[in-house]
Chain A
Amino acid sequence: MADTIAIEARAVAVPIAGRTPWQITKARIQRDKITMVALGAAIFFVALAVLAPALTALGIIDPMNNHTELVGGLGSMPIGPFGGVSLQHWMGVEPGTGRDIFSRVVSGLTVSLTVAMLAVLLSVVIGTIIGIISGTAGGRVDWFFSRITDFVLSFPQTLMLIALSTIVIDVLQLAFNTDRTIPSMVFMILVMGFFGWPYFARIIRGQVLSLKEREFIEAARSLGAKRWRIYFTELLPHLWAPILVYTTLIMPQNIATEAALGFLGVGIQSPTPSFGSILNDSVNYALADPAYFLFPGTTLFLVVLSFNLLGDGLRDALDPKADRQ
């Protein structure tokens, strides 16, 4: 293990000042160029997603209106090279309607990121609660929750999504009395969130198992602290690191799942744009109008990549044992 030796050698060389864990983490991230770029990209995409509704309202981007004069010929293909790329339409226009692809990709980012993020939040909340309870309680409670975790993990998530989608979305649509956009988003959040929590639960449980033997927990317990105080005041602050890391890692997975489901036709419903619905349509034009597939496809790739690299970087920075320089 030559690496270890190198690290030790360097560790000796660096003078150790009194730094908080946060400062250490920050310094580590700042040293890691790839993570910094990924962080910048992720912030950019999130900002774009947050701003998209405002940009639409102001008329700066226009994801919905047709520009039928920009498409023509048999099949209503975009007029002009690269799928009708122009100063007004940076990524060209959609075949069949002339809608601006850039605007649709930006609006799609809002939908896709909202779904992915809320689904992760749901997973985190359920996973953390179950992980902490299962890790601290031990015994039968632990066995019970661990089996539930295994059970949910072994469920075929995609099949469930496809099988349930029509019925559940119908019910939600009736309940909300809206079009299918919101119900399909809620459905995806619920299902992806529900199937995502076991990953968190397992990791949190593992952390808790090692933490609960530590002296400060022992101390709290011997002072007569209540169970809930131990859970949330003593344990939880020590779990932020793994939660943050896995949130950033599950996030791109959810974005990709949304795109995959849209591709299978059970995702966000037209006319609302999302990565899934855009790619689902554009893949049919892979030969006739490759630009329509390439622009949104590349954007999706960059979004997923930036979150993945950010997650990796965060893990390296937050977990001292995994310093892989």
Chain B
Amino acid sequence: MKQIKIVAGVATTLALALVATACAGTASPSGGSVAGTAGGTLTVLSATATEHWDPQRVYVGVNIEAGNRLFTRTLTTFGPVAKDGEAATLVADAATDTGTVSADGKEWKFTIKDGVKWEDGKAVTCADFAYGISRTFAVDVITGGPNYAIQFLDIPKDAKGGSAYAGPYKKTGQDLYDKAVSCEGNTITFKMAKPTGDFNMAATMTAFGAFRADKDNGDKSNFEVFSNGPYKMDGAWTVNKGATFVRNDQWDAKTDTIRKAYPDKIVWDESLNGNMETLYQRLIANQGEDQNAITFDQAPPTALASVAAATGRNSIVASPYTRYLVPNFKSKVFSNDKAREALALATDRNAYVVAAGGDQVAKATNSLINPALPAFPNTPLLAGDKGDPAKAKALLEASGLTLPVKINVTYRKNAMMDKAFAGMKLGWDAAGFDTQLTAIPAEQYYSTLQAPASATKYDAYWAGWGADYPSASTVIPQLLDSRSQISSGGPGQDYGYFDNADFNAGIDKAMAITDGTAREKAWGTLDTEVVTKYFGVIPLINDQFLFAHGSNVQGAIVNTTFTGYYDLANISVKH
């Protein structure tokens, strides 16, 4: 994954498996896979404007969830779960099974089911899948989506490091793509550049979904929906307003074991436009049509207490993210090993936890990998959750820097983060730093971090990351492999320019392990190493998401394996 998309304070990578850690998880009353009520209208209230509906451009958890459950069937997907926080299993969707991989891990085959049809009645073919996936390569038009297809598929790179295939519009290198992705009847074959044992998990993202070539309008397809799932869009999408999804009569329930598709209509109303306070006031008030409403926006800190009080209508689940601090190795201060250790020691995670809304909604962590992942190493905190400024000061005095050491720390601006960082600044200042805080607006946060000019401007950055699917292969190498991340265009996701040959060798070693358990364990070891030996990242907290829904909604269960939002597959409306 090349980029984290941010929408209204929620980092938007795909979510991952959460096991039993869902603290205080409140099961929905209608929970489990109890039979729902067919018919009725479900309302989705959204305070966040949708950026894309184009399956290849979607990288926001909400839209991956809704896209997959409503109109873009993928080869594989994660099934619905019976209660909040339960781990979901990987199941076949448009394919007959979850794929077969060759012994060397470099060739994947999927067979597409019969009876999967587009909304105009034509069958979904292997060619539609090959075409859909090829769109990711048109990086100048199809922007915003994940680029796993470019990373995984066996297509040579050009001189600049991009793919030699330029996508279906320019068609440069089409023969290379056709060799990597080929069709034989209904069977699609993918050839990988490297052994990719978990490709069938990546295939759950809508970016690996089908797209009909004759319906492709390039950039203009951004909000167009051409469905092969149970719902289709009624009319056109209006930004900041939304649209209504109605039943797609060409969808055959017999081909689909995942989607129950209970409601007749799904009204997607994003007219609240940034106003999450109002959204949650309406959900808590539970009046009229709002009784049939769910939301994909998490409750703001101000609404936490009232959401928690709405028992039976709320969900508290672990978010897939780890929020962490990155010392900038290119800054004068943090190129100094002792200064980084001092920063880590003096960090008051408790201040962050309290600012985020207390220990029910945030937990201090010292691991980059989220607790929900099998690779989670649970590295102990260096000096408790409040830090040890005195010990840090001794270290800083021994570092050769003149106290107070001036540092500039950036974070993504919002009211909660203002408080969290004001609190952590006290700890750092007590340790002999002179901390300047720079709050950067959400819409330009990560682009600022990735700008080459920031390397000499800031000393440490806040960042957040969640795995794209339940494997730490989507965490450690994506954040810390200097070879794949750092280029002349900036640090990629290795925001702090962490560049360590031993560590990179460790990544290569872990990558080469074919046994899943052993590989995840190796990722865990690398995580502990970067945190406690190199102080290359300072993990801060794992947060929890709170959601609420109206009283008529049944089966509103958060699927933490698949995106971490309410799962639309089993949801229904009492009427």
Contacts and interface: CB of A to CB of B under 8 A. Distances in A.
- Do A and B assemble together? yes
B357 A76 contact: yes
Given A270-B418, A271-B418, A73 B358 contact: yes
B350 interface: yes
Interface in A40-71: 64-66, 68, 71
Contacts of A98: 354
Interface stretch (B100-108, B213-221, B303-311, B489-497): B303-311
A178 B277 CA distance: 34
B304 A64 contact: no
B439 interface: yes
A98 B419 CA distance: 10
Contact of B301 (A64, A96, A269, A287): A96
Interface in B421-477: 421-423, 425-426, 436-439, 441
Contacts of B361: 74-75
B89 interface: no
Interface string A228-271: 00000000000000000000000000000000000001000111
Interface of A: 64-66, 68, 71-77, 94-98, 166, 173, 178-180, 265, 269-271, 280-281, 284-285, 287-288
Given A179-B436, A269-B439, A72 B358 contact: yes
Given A74-B305, A284-B277, A270 B439 contact: yes
A212 to B, nearest CB: 51
B415 interface: yes
Contacts of A271: 418, 421-422, 425, 437
B416 A96 contact: yes
Given A265-B413, A269-B439, 4 more contacts: A66-B426, A179-B437, A281-B419, A288-B303
B355 interface: yes
Given A68-B351, A271-B437, A74 B357 contact: yes
A178 B358 CA distance: 31
Contact of B302 (A72, A75, A270, A280): A75
B360 interface: yes
Given A76-B354, A97-B354, A288 B302 contact: yes
B426 A64 contact: yes
Interface size bracket, B side: 35 or more
B287 interface: no
Interface in B392-436: 413, 415-416, 418-419, 421-423, 425-426, 436
Contact of A75 (B358, B418, B422, B439): B358
30 contacts: A64-B422, A66-B351, A66-B354, A66-B423, A68-B350, A71-B354, A72-B358, A74-B304, A75-B301, A76-B301, A94-B419, A95-B301, A96-B419, A97-B351, A97-B354, A97-B422, A179-B437, A179-B438, A180-B436, A180-B437, A180-B438, A269-B437, A270-B418, A270-B422, A271-B418, A271-B421, A271-B437, A281-B418, A284-B301, A287-B302
Contacts of A288: 302-303, 305-306
A265 B443 CA distance: 15
* Contact residues of B: prevailing secondary structure: helix
Nearest to A68: B354
Nearest to B304: A75
Contacts of B306: 287-288
Contacts of A95: 301
Nearest to A177: B406
A288 B303 CA distance: 7
Nearest to A277: B418
Interface string B351-366: 1001111101100000
B487 interface: no
A270 B437 contact: yes
Contacts of B425: 271
Contacts of B357: 74-76, 96
A72 B354 CA distance: 8
B418 A76 contact: no
B167 interface: no
B388 to A, nearest CB: 17
Contacts of B421: 270-271
Contact of A284 (B413, B415, B437): B415
Contacts of B374: none
B354 A75 contact: no
A97 B423 contact: yes
